[in-house]
Amino acid sequence: MTTTPESRTPAVPSRSFTTLMTGDSGVVTMMFAVCASLMFGAMCTALDLIDYEMTQARMQMALDVATISAGVDLAHYADAAGKDSSAWKADARAFYNGNMPKGYLGLTMPDANFKATITGAAATGQTIQLSASGSIPLLAPVFFASNPTDGSGDSGSGSPSTPDTSTVAAGNTAFRLPQSTLELALVLDNTGSMADYASADHSQGTKIAGLRSAANTLVSSILGQSGNRSYVGLVPFTTVVNVGSSLSASGSWLTPAASDSNSYNSAGISSQYQPSGTGSGWAGCPVEPRIGSAKKLYPKAYAPADSPGFTPFYYNVPPQGFKITNYDNKTNCAVTSVSSVLNVPLTYQTNGSTSFCGTATATPIYNAWGQPAPSGSTAPATTTWDQNGSASSRPCSIRPMQFLTQDVNTLNTAIDQMQANGSTIIPVGLLWGWRMVSSAWSPQVSGSNGWVSNDANLPRPEATTQGLQRVVIVLTDGENDPGTANGIMPSPSFNGLSGVGNSTLTAPTGGPTNGSMTSVSDINTFQLSVCNAMKNDGIVIYSITFGTYGTDSASTQAQQTMQNCASPGNYYHAPTNAALASIFQQIAGNLGILRLTR
């Protein structure tokens, strides 16, 4: 059959590229293509960025490990910066390779791009610098088709070329000391409140027991390491510090020297009033120097040669001295001599009611030492002065300090002998902790006026001892409290800061300019001036408040003062004995790191 043109099926016109692009569907296609390109390009760029960050982080980690390991490795070379340089650098590269897989994410690093240098001397400290750089391939240029350049940095079309790789680099610097020296002074509260229980249920024992245990563990942790160059000292404090045998009583640091004319007998008192072994000479507690006619108090470590020096601490000694009446015996009460003496530690008592040879005293001198009061006859109208109570209640009966030592047993014995008794003046303890790590007090500098030690170079010279770390840990369970005039311990006029019969607290350097020992706020201000002076002298301070503190303003101020006293980040609060033990162990760990990596 013949097909006519009219009966044929109309032909569908062909869809050329131009037709496709100019139609509605062509527009959609174009938009999809553009968006897809951008999306895949962005994805490739993101993957490149992830690869870069992962490679750089892994490279830096490997380099950090290599730097530390290379520093330790220096001990194997006599001259790593000289003739042994190549071998040491090869070790450093091996440490790096051990932590950086070859070809990690396509990283390429030529040998020349790894550098290890060392400067300085082993005796004074060495600076180690490691660096590494390489390149990783990029995905984005593959998708976008990077254009070769014509040699001028531009493509043939005039647009910049796209780089095929990205450079990745890492670097590190460390300072190595062969070994550092730690001088640590433990400035610990021994006041009466430390006898309280550490918890309401009494399950943890007393605070002083918890302190002894924590301090002993810290000492063992630090000094128990073989080959250590660490020295630890102990400074118990109340309102005074007892230097004991750590300083000579005949040294010129003390004016007048306590051994000159202060024994019981040399004061003109008959030996019959001195039971064996109880004497009343200086017991070991000094008073801070007061400068000038205004008796100004300064936050200073001083030096034994400074003038004016420290003075012996005597409790309630009136400026006019004591009138001492000697009797021939307890029965007859016949007067053998009457004299006025200075510088003897007798307590002024005015509220007595017991009769001794016709005189009124709070406690007759015989009863004070456990002897029966004399019976007897009438005696001349004289005034009798009583000693400082029993040996356990004297203001200066506090456990003496222990100078820097490496002997664990000596320190543990001193710590175990700490007893709780008395009021609190924290800056007294801080000042003596400062002196314990101050080279001006070393026998090398001050001779017989300095610390009594088998090592004349302790404390070490600050300027020339590489890696020297001077640290003070101060702990208290309360606030500054100078005591009262009616207590058995020193009143505000008689303690290690105020001296004998003077309650003023004039401290022009960082402290109150017209203060008083009766003001806790003034003592806090002076304490902070001491802490700041110590930190300015290069001493690291850890401060710890211990036990339960209230929410009143006094407790808040006490804790804030201790927090401000510490070096940054070194303040702790221990509400219980268990918490204190944990804190001491944490500090011991910190000190261990410091000795290795300062």
Q: Please state the domain extents for the chain.
A: 52-145+164-178, 181-250+280-289+393-438+453-490+510-597, 322-387
Average pLDDT over residues 358-365: 40
- DSSP line for 424-457: B-HHHHHHHHHHHT-GGGSHHHHGGGS---S-TT
Q: What is the 3-state secondary structure (H, E, C) of 481-500?
A: ECCCCCCCCCCCCEECCCEE
Looking at residue 374, its pLDDT comes to 45
pLDDT confidence of residue 425: 95
What pLDDT score was predicted for residue 263? 36
pLDDT, position 590 = 80
Model pLDDT for residues 96-108, shown as the tens digit of each residue: 999 999 999 889 9
What value does the mean pLDDT of the chain take?
77
For 152-167, write each residue's pLDDT tens digit.
444 444 445 667 888 9
Summarize pLDDT for 185-209 with one digit per residue, the tens: 999 999 999 999 987 777 889 999 9
The answer on pLDDT for 24 being more than 60 is no
Least confident of 306-320, 338-352, 463-477: 338-352
CATH no., domain 181-250+280-289+393-438+453-490+510-597:
3.40.50.410
Annotate 277-336 with DSSP letters as a single string. T---S--S-EE---BTTTTB-------TT-SS-BEE--TT--TT-EEEEEES-TTT--EE
pLDDT at 115: 93
**Cβ–Cβ under 8 Å, residues 471 and 539:** yes
Residue 314 banded pLDDT, cuts 50, 70, 90:
low
Strand partners, 171: 131
Q: How confident is the model at residue 397 (pLDDT cuts 50, 70, 90)?
A: confident
> Residue 484, CB half-sphere, CA atoms under 13 Å: how many?
2
pLDDT of residue 139: 79
Q: Considering only CA atoms, which of 338, 344, 292 is closest in space to residue 317?
A: 344
Q: Which of 115-124, 310-319, 414-423 has the lowest mean pLDDT?
A: 310-319
3-state secondary structure of 462: coil
pLDDT at 162: 60
Q: Which residues pair with 149 in a beta bridge?
A: 155
Q: Which pLDDT does position 423 carry in this prediction?
A: 86
| Distance of alpha carbon 301 from alpha carbon 100, whole angstroms | 52
pLDDT band at 274 (very low <50, low <70, confident <90, very high): very low
Look at residues 345, 365, 194 and name the one whose alpha carbon lies nearest to residue 270. Answer: 365
Q: Give residue 437's pLDDT.
A: 98
In this predicted model, what pLDDT tens digit does every residue of 552-563 receive, in sequence order?
898 999 999 999
Give the C-alpha separation, 323 to 383, whole Å: 7
Residue 504 half-sphere exposure, CB side, CA atoms within 13 Å? 14
Predicted pLDDT at 416: 97
- Is the distance from CB of 464 to CB of 393 less than 8 angstroms? no
Give 197's DSSP letter: B
pLDDT at residue 78, rounded to an integer: 67
pLDDT for res 232: 98
pLDDT of amino acid 71: 81
